[in-house]
Amino acid sequence: MTAAMPFWLSALTLALNLLVLSAREGAALFLPDSNELRQLLSRYQDDQNSTDNTAGSRTRRAIQWTDRGEILQLHNKLRGQVYPTASNMEYMVWDDELERSATHWAEACQWEHGPNDLLMSIGQNLAVHWGR
C-alpha cells in the first residue's frame, strides 16, 4: 500500500528536477550530500507528514519566494562544483513559464513525459518515491 504524493510535493520535485536537469552541458553533474539541500527539502517534507495531507488530498502549496531564491542559489552553487569543471556554466534564474508548464503538467497527473515541442531545451524525469 502506497500513499499518494501530495500535489505540491510532486510539483516541487518536478520543478527541482527540471531546474537541475536543464543543465545539459554539465554531463557530469554531481550533487554532493548537502546540509543546505536537506534543510530546504525538510521544510516541505515536514508539511507532507502533517495530518492535513492525507492520502488523496490535493491541497495546493506554492513554493515560497524565499525558497525559490534559496533553491536557485543552492542550485547555482552546486552547478559550480561539477567535475570536470564546466567551461561555460551559465547562471540559472527562475523561469515563470517553466514553472507554469511544470505545474500544469503535474496537475494533469499523467505518468508520461511532456510533449517534445513544448520546451525543447529542458530535460524531464519521471520519479516515484514511497516509504519513509
CA separation for the pair 63, 8 (Å, rounded): 8
**pLDDT in the model for residue 1:** 43
* Under-70 pLDDT residues of the chain: 1-34, 44-62, 110-111, 113-126, 128-132
Joined together, the cell numbers standing for residue 24 give 545539459
CA separation for the pair 11, 94 (Å, rounded): 15
**Predicted TM-score (pTM) above 0.85:** no
pLDDT in tens, 58-77: 455 667 888 888 888 888 88
**pLDDT in the model for residue 115:** 66
In sequence order, which ranges of 1-132 are alpha helices (DSSP H)? 7-21, 35-48, 65-79, 96-108
Work out the percent of the chain whose per-residue pLDDT is above 70: 42
Query: Contact 101/119 with Cβ under 8 angstroms?
Result: yes
